[in-house]
Structure 1
Amino acid sequence: MLSALTALSAALLPAHAAADEHIVGGSPVSVSDHPWVVALASRDRYGEARSGQFCGGALVGPDTVVTAAHCVSPEVLGRNADDPGDLTVIAGRDDLGRDAGREVAVREVRINPGYDPATNAGDLAVLTLTESLPADDAIRVAGAGHPGYTPGTEALVHGWGDTTGSGGYENLLRAAGVRMLADDDCARAYEAVGGGFDAESMVCAAAPQGGQDACQGDSGGPLVAAGALVGLVSWGNGCGDPAYPGVYTRGSLIAELLDQEGRVSD
């Protein structure tokens, strides 16, 4: 998995190698079982291949999707977030090569005011859709103290794309099994990497022996544990390297921002 900063340069690659992070070592899953998993797409920016997908997101309310802030940066989206352009959320589509499900335009993008692109802290954006999706498809967000954050808890990270860590993109939605890590363990792993680990806005997860992780193209995709959204794919170092766990935007930060905006949260 690339750091969010390095991944931004991938926005300039062709559509088949579009930006940010994807699933390594996982298995195909169906959106019928995970209806809150959505794809972010821009055909103007990334072309028709794979429905123009470039990042992931999670449906947390009928008209509300959360994703990583760096997914809607000018470097990745190709425009300022205050003008979403053709930014679209795709729901109900397992295979990005088909036209199942719904494509819903994004009406408004709100980037977390505390987001720091230099350190990846607070890597969160809230998207408001032009049309509502089924309320029952939304996932609840894990607030502070939720059992999903307990170290060792099994979790799933979801996304479309690079299954090898070297540009092996696929059309099918996949999920990889990981375990939640203690904040101290994550802080030690990233002590000398990037901006370091910020426990206030980040959480870590990894497979104990490595080999399963998010990777290029999955940024903004959901990490789910104990039935709730505990994180969004944000950054890391490599894909599936046991020495460097995946770093996610912490779900409790998402819940806090949604509460401030009067939206649905746990």
Structure 2
Amino acid sequence: MWCRTRDRSRQAQAPRFALALTSGFGRGPAEMGARGFEVCHHGARFAGSSVKSLKEQCRRENPDTTRESISMSSHTYIVSSGWVLTSLCACLVTPACSSDMDAGEATHPLSAGDAYIIGGADAKSHGLDAIGSLGIEQAATDAAGVIQRRYVPFCGGTLIGKETVVTAKHCIVVARRLLDPGDTLYFAVGPDGNAPERRIEIADFRMAPGDQGGFIGNGRDVGVVHLDEAIEDIAPLSLGDLSDDDLETRFGAIGYGIQDSAGTAGTRKAGTVTLRARRGKVFSHIFGSFEGFIHYTETHDVSRLLEDAPRREDSDDEAWNDYLRRRYDETLLLDGYEAWVGHVAGDVQPCNGDSGSPLVRRAGGELAVYGVVSGGLGSDRMRCDFGGIYATFGPATRAFLEHARSSPPPSVAGP
């Protein structure tokens, strides 16, 4: 996941937390925000020098905040321009200092204790271990005839039962395509998908009913994998239901996918995204108009997006325009089963490898999963851009998931 840079024109929006760049950017201190988090003030600008001095300044700006409620984080990542941000330190004021925390708990995608992971930062907390990755251990014979094995994560997944992991339907399709004799599929636990702390073999798959329509043409893009053994020491996440009341509010996005323009991937990252739409024309939401969609098709490689398109050189302008108009009008979010998120300054950006990873929010003190990454678009600015499409848990999908986690197949449930 990438972090989208905050637009200066939106800096007056609050609440938010302040981030100070202590070195590496070349533009001095900068401020980024996470709209939707309750904090005790609207964020101060810091002349970055050290973690200690930033903490002290944060305390001076927040005299009513206890020492324990100030936390700092530091990490390095590459944004799409190739600039390296180093020693990115965040002064995070615990939401508990807000009198509205209990009443407004649904606006907090993650707890105060998880706050350091906001903005595409490392998500190493073992409290997030229900969110893992799907991987394949592949066997190959080298030139000397020796069988070598390598492990590759390819999608995300979330534990929703002791033996049941929710992911994207298309991840299951990919897994079946990748799997050769001698290969093994796993659900991996831990913040590093390339070197997981634990791997549990996948015994079976199921896919949600409904295979038509939707952004990627896969219908309700949700599936589950059943594990060969139960996970007893990690609490599964509950299932959440989206409603229109959640529009323009923040959720947590967590995944192991591509993090930068260099293609770095495999470690668990997290941040927040804004829920933008639950129905309607996808390209209208993303580009704002048919003209904006046309501009995108004229300035980007859309061969995969428009796979069913007639050959441009064989079509006159009117026929081509009619085709684009149909795609614009007929590419719809599945009402109740898909959502568009992100593309707001400060949001993280789901990308390749994040498929199947969860959309989460903390409510009632526990994390719940509301959907899984399904698809998205790229641009000439970033490999992945414009936010992402999540498959969500409408009535038929939720019924499928409830049944799957309560009734694992006989091969998993045992005698």
Aligned residues: 231
- Return the alpha-carbon distance in structure 2 between the equivalents of residues 200 and 45 of structure 1: 41
Matches within 5 A, 1:222-233: 222-226=358-362, 227-233=367-373
> What TM-score, normalized to structure 2?
0.49
Q: Which residue of 1 is the match for residue 317 of structure 2?
A: none
- 1:4 alignment counterpart: none
Letter in 1 for 2:377: N
Deviation at 1:78, TM superposition (A): 2.0
SS in 2 for 1:73: helix
Of the three residues 184, 190, 193, the one matched with 1:86 is 184
Aligned equivalents of 1:38 and 1:99: distance in 2?
9
Q: Specify the alignment match of 2:192 in structure 1.
A: 95
Contact preservation (8 Å) 2:248, 2:276:
yes
Contact 1:70 1:76 in 2 (8 A): no
Please report the TM-score for the alignment, with normalisation by the length of structure 1.
0.74
Q: Which AA in structure 2 matches 1:200?
A: G
**Which residue of structure 1 lines up, in the alignment, with residue 131 of structure 2?**
37
For residue 174 of structure 1, what is the aligned residue in structure 2? 269
The alpha carbon displacement at 1:53 in A equals 0.3
Residues 192-251 of structure 1 show CA distances to partners (whole Å, capped at 9, x for unaligned) of 29843212321221152266211011100111024311110001112563xx33110103
Greater C-alpha Rg? 2
Conservation of the 8 A alpha-carbon contact between 2:154 and 2:353: yes
SS in 2 for 1:44: strand
Measured in 2, the distance between the counterparts of 1:110 and 1:157 equals 24
- Whether the 8 Å CA contact 1:212–1:240 is kept in 2: the answer is no
Task: Indicate the RMSD between aligned Cα atoms, in angstroms.
Answer: 3.3
Per-residue deviation, 1:112: 1.7
* CA-to-aligned-CA distance 1:126-166 (integer Å, 9 cap, x gap): 11111011365210001365x9x6012211111113112x4
Is 1:189 the counterpart of 2:325? The answer is: no
Q: Deviations over 1:42-67 (max 9, x none)?
A: 02289966x41000011000000011
In structure 2, do the counterparts of structure 1 residues 150 and 74 end up closer, same or farther at CA, with 3 Å as the change threshold? closer
Is contact 1:120–1:235 with CA below 8 Å preserved after alignment? no
- Using the aligned pairs only, state the percent identity: 24
Residue 406 (structure 2) pairs with residue 263 (structure 1)? yes
Verify the 8 A CA contact 1:45 1:52 in the aligned structure 2.
Answer: no
Contact 2:168 2:223 in 1 (8 A): yes
Aligned to 1:60: 160
Task: Report 1:12-161 matches (<5 A).
Answer: 26-44=120-138, 51-74=151-174, 77-79=177-179, 86-91=184-189, 93-100=190-197, 102-116=198-212, 119-134=217-232, 136-143=234-241, 145=243, 150-161=246-257
**Which of 368, 374, 396 is matched with 1:234 structurally?**
374
Distance 1:262 1:222 in 2: 17
Partner SS state of residue 215, structure 1: coil
Segment drifting more, 215-224 vs 175-184: 175-184
Greater RCO (Cα-Cα under 8 Å, separation 6 or more): 1
Counterpart-to-counterpart distance in 2, 1:154 and 1:172: 23
SS of 1:236's equivalent in the other structure is strand
Matches of 2:356 and 2:139, distance apart in 1: 17
